[in-house]
Structure 1
């Protein structure tokens, strides 16, 4: 269980760092770019990618993930800034209803009443989370701040589907796929960052780079400890899945409300409870 706890902590630390980025004038996109440089190194050390035979590599899926991962990271940063850690982390965790729908529509899985109930509860929870009757979390007002957690919800669902497709490629290990995806994400992000520097919209600064490296350690730690938890509890994967998702929602809610004084309405709090119920139902299904 220690691996699950460490994975939960790393996941919430990522959100906390994105929350603190504005306070310390950190360029989020630059931090996200350098985050992938550390993720590449740590993946090479701990997951031992095998790059000798890549003839069956799903290049299209790698490319999509290489674009979507950094783009979603930017959206998460905006969601944490404008809507807070509580809503962002909860939206991320209940995004699991999207691959459940995809499994039924595209992968031929049976659709049971229990699965339908889990999906329905998840969507109700998402709707209640988006309800906001007070000013945005950040000082800068935006027209539709609720779009950010909604995009987090949709984005994580799509990325989960793509990673499930990668898991079906038996000739290439997950560590190898993750390494290649991180390389693509870093190369594409760095190309955009260099362009922004050339047109003087950004500037290379050590504070952004160091922040990005710390972000990369926390981001990779989340994945590594999650994988180690599944290995340690190989005969009970549902325990890992449920504990991880509920743990992130719970810890994220505690940190958001106690440390950062984020305000939630009674409808939001019902949404958080329903999100936990949705996770349990889907695990059972």
Structure 2
């Protein structure tokens, strides 16, 4: 059953990538769409998390936890905005590969903050990450989103996604005994919604268009359940097995989704980068 949950988690992640690509193709405002997504995801996370009564005492938590969740929420929504732009310009598979390589950041943070052992295989994996990123980044300096080159979108996605994943490691170490996973994710999603809502208010009207509302709600459910299914899978198999499988499924699924549905162009060099990314993921876990 755990392997089915991994497949469902990956399917949710690929659905998010597809819908974000659709957001850009239909020229909808990514930030506004994602703001709705985080509202829907927060409501579902709180509904399920608080009903479990497994350490969901949100009101008793420190102000530090609340600030931490808001900061993590900023990483989440910022990452998804850049991720959506990169999916549109660089392609689905390449962007997902860059995002999954961000496992490097929580690994390094775990070593420095929690004194985890860094073996020879992980060192090789770290070196391979840099090689994979070098092969994945396209020569698209002439293609820009605002003032940012399309190539830099992959780097920004890598960094923001890495810090978002690292925040989950900090939660595991510092807060898990007093707050269950879904309630924590609800607080993070709520923080992301507040940040997005404030930014939307500062921009030109209308606040939310109908298509943005519908597409944002559609993204919210798989956004939440990609995490829920992964949590369910971790209840049946070790993380050392679950994380490589789900990340490799995401990289391979994203590559074929981009090729078959969106006609993404992948160079031979980038195919090498995708292969290197898969090997690096296996070594880093």
TM-score by length of 2: 0.90
1:255-266 equivalences under 5 Å are: 255-266=257-268
- In structure 1, stretches of 5+ residues that fail to align are none
1:168-183 equivalences under 5 Å are: 168=173, 169=175, 170-183=177-190
Check conservation: 2:141, 2:151, Cα contact below 8 A.
no
Is the deviation greater in 247-256 or in 217-226? 217-226
Name the count of aligned residue pairs. Answer: 276
Relative to structure 1, the CA distance from residue 52 to residue 119 in structure 2 (aligned partners, 3 Å threshold; closer, same or farther) is same
- In structure 2, stretches of 5+ residues that fail to align are 51-55
The one of 216, 222, 244 equivalent to 2:220 is 216
Residues 1:162 and 2:201 aligned together: no
Q: Deviations over 1:174-233 (max 9, x none)?
A: 22221111111112211221222xxx3544321111110001011112111111111132
Match of 1:25 in 2: 27
For the aligned residue pairs, the C-alpha RMSD in angstroms reads 2.1
Check conservation: 2:101, 2:129, Cα contact below 8 A.
yes
Match of 1:230 in 2: 234
The one of 48, 52, 61 equivalent to 1:54 is 61
Relative to structure 1, the CA distance from residue 251 to residue 205 in structure 2 (aligned partners, 3 Å threshold; closer, same or farther) is same
Check conservation: 2:25, 2:88, Cα contact below 8 A.
no
Check conservation: 1:57, 1:172, Cα contact below 8 A.
no
1:1-285 equivalences under 5 Å are: 1-48=3-50, 49-55=56-62, 58-132=65-139, 144-168=149-173, 169=175, 170-196=177-203, 200-233=204-237, 236-283=238-285
* Moved segments of 4+, more than 4 Å: 133-136, 140-143
Q: In structure 2, the residue corresponding to 1:22 is in which secondary structure?
A: helix
Relative to structure 1, the CA distance from residue 230 to residue 95 in structure 2 (aligned partners, 3 Å threshold; closer, same or farther) is same
Relative to structure 1, the CA distance from residue 83 to residue 201 in structure 2 (aligned partners, 3 Å threshold; closer, same or farther) is farther
TM-score by length of 1: 0.90
Check conservation: 2:128, 2:276, Cα contact below 8 A.
yes
Relative to structure 1, the CA distance from residue 280 to residue 209 in structure 2 (aligned partners, 3 Å threshold; closer, same or farther) is same
Is the deviation greater in 248-257 or in 14-23? 14-23
Check conservation: 1:125, 1:274, Cα contact below 8 A.
yes
